[in-house]
Structure 1
Amino acid sequence: MDQLEDDYDHPASLSATLSYCPTNVPGQGCDLDLFYTIPLGCDCSNLCSHPQSCSCQILDQPNYNDDGKYQHAFNQDIPIFECHESCGSGSGRTCSNRVVQKGPLKGLVIQAVPGKNLGLFTREHIEQGRFVCEYAGEVIGQVQAEARIRAQDHLGQDNYILKVVEHVEKEPVITLIDPTAIGNIGRYINHSCDPNLVMIPVRIGSMVPHVALFACRDIQAQEELNFHYGSRRDHPSNGCDLDLFYTIPLGCDCSNLCSHPQSCSCQILDQPNYNDDGKYQHAFNQDIPIFECHESCGSGSGRTCSNRVVQKGPLKGLVIQAVPGKNLGLFTREHIEQGRFVCEYAGEVIGQVQAEARIRAQDHLGQDNYILKVVEHVEKEPVITLIDPTAIGNIGRYINHSCDPNLVMIPVRIGSMVPHVALFACRDIQAQEELNFHYGSRRDPPSNGEILEHRTSCLCRTKSCSGFLPSLK
């Protein structure tokens, strides 16, 4: 293994202990067959610019545009394959479906970060969709990962092991990557609940995924790079109905950017879900199914489609701050207008039995409980979704309860029947104001959502405070 032979200046303290690998290598306990299972290559002769004829690209549009930028939605589970050495003569180094394998961007630099030790920064502007680098290291097994974590905890050392969960034909495919001793520059990238990079598993010449990090927005020169170590959207977990994740709503066939709900089958009411400025238009207190357009929709429903709001990600300017008596909370640096989408409440989607088991365990340990119960009423029958962001979640987990909230929870479906719990501003919100939503319901019945917990005193201190947080009991 080469000792730190790359284009970057690594800290001198690590030069004797860290071996450099440009991409993943097999480690203890991994499935070696995955490294030696070679995907069937294409036989293209046209540089693979047409996905209809390139068997390495399984969607209707190419994985990358002519400028090498990732073209698919960042929030969907789709297998991405790049062309490789077993492909036809047309798939050479200039093939448009070879991006990650060409290596990381230039201009990345490791710098000290107050309170975080080290971080990775960019000297140059990076455009949205651009590949930045991999998170590479040893691919190890579950038993080895648990042993390493115990040893690192005992020694007070940092843990860099990343768990990548993909869902193939409803079954989870788990890859564990440890860059502690053998890794690349990606190991220096810190976590953020509002990241500028997104993790996309990409396979190149084997069935082991390259954990490719792409810019999910434009990134300014001198900005620190970061990605979410968990998930920015709901993930299936123990006890959930996996069929909901793989049941795809029928897409529309619009050719007019879906601005007319009468002709867009994704919008079932007389007026569009969102106005021209992207603000939610329906009444906040009604139970109506909201569907956004998605990848199965017609050619008119592209990224500029007016019915794509939640999937574009959270607002900028959200910040986590300490709140006296409440630990942490989420605040906004900027004014937010009524109807504006703010962020999701995302995490693991679990079953009722698993939720009750987790609550008992958290109560026993005196830990906080973040499980949200979303109740929708479809044809008079309740549809229940349980979301736990405790271990895998997004920035929404920091939002506190209020009996007089400034956010309202709207279930929105995008490309599957699992709801995205979207939080919209139900009134104008001032800059520096704390964000909050009602964990239960502001009307009774039916409830729109409840945090599963015992009766706990409410600390919102509003005039309409009920005295307690919502409870199932």
Structure 2
Amino acid sequence: MSSSSLLPSGSKPSSSSSAVSTDVKSKERPKKRLKFSSREVLDLCWSRNEFVRFPDLLARQEAKLEAEGAVLDKENRMWAAEAYRAYVQEHENSEAEFRISNTVDFQPHPPLDFCWTNDYVSGISSISHGAHKPHGCDCDDDECDPETCSCIQKMKDLDPETWKEISTFPYDQNGNLNPEVPVNSVIWECNDLCGCSDMCRNRNVQFGRKYGVELFKTDNGRGWGLRTTEKIPARAFVLCYTGELLDGYGTVIKERGDMYDKVGQGYLLYIDAWHVKLETLYRPYNVQRKKMGQEPLPLNSDEIKRKAAIWHRQWKDPMLTVDATFWGNISRYINHSCEPNLTIYPVYFGPEAGYIIRPYLVFFSTRVIPKGEELTFSYSNDDREDDESQPGQAAGSSDLDEEDDAVEQSASQFPRSLSTKGFKGKAQRKKLETAEDDSELETIGAQKCLCGSKKCRGKFWM
């Protein structure tokens, strides 16, 4: 079978293929290994396994050619890349530019091994935990008044310490975060149930990506990455992380984590924020104290963290995990950096905003990002790993066992790392510090860092 069989009869690359670059500098072919498109991996997700799309058919054609030792010629590589780009643009909720570029090898595009979704895909019962009745504000103007809007008030209720001194919208007139909004704080946007129009300043992420990006093959072994095709302002919304919602403590996440370790890659991002604990543990604990005739404790105090954990020793975060392995969008290609230009905020919008434990994980720029710079965030989130104080544990104490230490985290930080292992306890962090070769790093679920930044730590959690 010749490589030309990939092209439909008589078809040529479309005129828009100028957005695809396929110049080749190296002809090295990647080594065969377990892939996300492998049958044993696909069997982990029935919805993906049963769903066949045009890209799946294209991927099968390419796999067959590879098995026969054929190499796609330039024309077919451009057509395949253009087909991938068209698939993204057809399904993405965005009019912004999207390109694909590979000047490293013959791979025309990233593996076609996931289904596109602009939302969360959920099939778990725990999603109802912490549910509130979805509501909208009663504002009847195009733009809400931050002093009276119930959506702004909801934001203050969820995170009173952060928002008590802020009396404006989270976004400025250009849709960027206001400077006074603290990093990683919760944001509650107006939604379809609100009386305001789409012109309201409290609507932003729900309209989708607005800055151009390019999917490109990195030249230092980090696989595919994402970079901007235009200048992005500081504190701007860039992308929303989507995928399957899974129970963070269930057997499914354990099975998938083990399989992803074999693949050598994963797309798990934990949903875990201070306001979730506030709503599901600290406030219920104060209600219990009132019933017992005791004074409620300050919600941001170390005392309530410690006593609430003792009161409900078996309590676990109703923690969900977003898995972008089988369902997701282009945010799954954002690589790690020890000096990232993106950070994550928990944002609520849309008809599912009533579920407190399932905010969207949204990437915002931490500074001005020049055109052509790669988009990155910290998988390990090492700034929080320097915090020694854990919920249910006073600073400097060590009465929690290692399992608790690996699960609990500082209530003032967000989010968990992009890792199947979650936040790391002291013992695990010590192992990372002392690990030297690849085998030691692999044993503890870490790997060498190739980010190349000035602040590179040399290794990070997978």
Q: TM-score range by the shorter chain?
A: 0.5 to 0.7
CA distance 1:230–1:427, change in 2 (3 Å)? same
Aligned to 2:202: 307
Aligned to 1:458: 449
The yes-or-no answer on 1:290 pairing with 2:257 is no
Q: Deviations over 1:300-346 (max 9, x none)?
A: x2222211110111123101111122011100011111011011111
AA paired with 1:197?
E
Instruction: Say if 1:332 and 1:433, in contact at 8 Å, map to a contact too.
Output: yes
CA distance 1:296–1:438, change in 2 (3 Å)? same
Q: Distance in 2 between matches of 1:438 and 1:455?
A: 14
Equivalenced residue count is 284
Q: Distance in 1 between matches of 2:144 and 2:229?
A: 31
Unaligned runs of 5+ in 1: 1-10, 15-109, 117-141, 160-188, 200-214, 220-227
CA distance 1:274–1:383, change in 2 (3 Å)? farther
Q: Which has the higher contact order (CA 8 A, sep 6+)?
A: 2
- SS where residue 197 of structure 1 aligns? helix
Please tell me the root mean square deviation across aligned C-alpha atoms, in Å.
Answer: 4.0
The yes-or-no answer on 1:374 pairing with 2:314 is no
Equivalent residues in 2 for 1:401-440, closer than 5 Å: 401-415=336-350, 416=352, 417=355, 418-440=358-380
AA paired with 1:449?
R
Q: Distance in 2 between matches of 1:449 and 1:148?
A: 32
Q: Deviations over 1:222-268 (max 9, x none)?
A: xxxxxx9520222114x463326985532111123344211111113
AA paired with 2:274?
H
Instruction: Say if 2:115 and 2:326, in contact at 8 Å, map to a contact too.
Output: no
Aligned to 1:272: 169
Instruction: Say if 1:440 and 1:448, in contact at 8 Å, map to a contact too.
Output: no
Q: Distance in 1 between matches of 2:168 and 2:452?
A: 37
Q: Distance in 2 between matches of 1:361 and 1:313?
A: 32
Unaligned runs of 5+ in 2: 1-6, 18-45, 64-81, 98-113, 157-162, 282-316, 388-409, 421-444
Identity of aligned residues (%): 27
Aligned to 2:230: 334
- SS where residue 266 of structure 1 aligns? helix
Instruction: Say if 1:320 and 1:331, in contact at 8 Å, map to a contact too.
Output: yes
The yes-or-no answer on 1:387 pairing with 2:387 is no
Q: Deviations over 1:199-241 (max 9, x none)?
A: 9xxxxxxxxxxxxxxx96499xxxxxxxx9520222114x463
Equivalent residues in 2 for 1:4-403, closer than 5 Å: 13=9, 112-113=13-14, 156-157=60-61, 190-192=83-85, 195-198=88-91, 217=95, 229-237=115-123, 239=124, 241-243=126-128, 248-267=133-152, 268=156, 269=163, 270-281=167-178, 285-286=182-183, 288-298=185-195, 301-323=196-218, 324-352=220-248, 353=250, 354-364=252-262, 366-378=263-275, 379-380=277-278, 381=281, 382=317, 384-403=319-338
- SS where residue 281 of structure 1 aligns? coil
AA paired with 2:13?
A
Q: Distance in 1 between matches of 2:181 and 2:340?
A: 12
CA distance 1:114–1:408, change in 2 (3 Å)? same
Q: Distance in 2 between matches of 1:296 and 1:249?
A: 8
Which structure shows the higher strand fraction?
Answer: 1
Which structure shows the higher helix fraction?
Answer: 2
Q: Distance in 1 between matches of 2:325 and 2:360?
A: 17
Deviation at 1:450, TM superposition (A): 1.1
TM-score, normalisation: structure 2:
0.53
Aligned to 2:108: none
Q: Distance in 2 between matches of 1:329 and 1:12?
A: 29
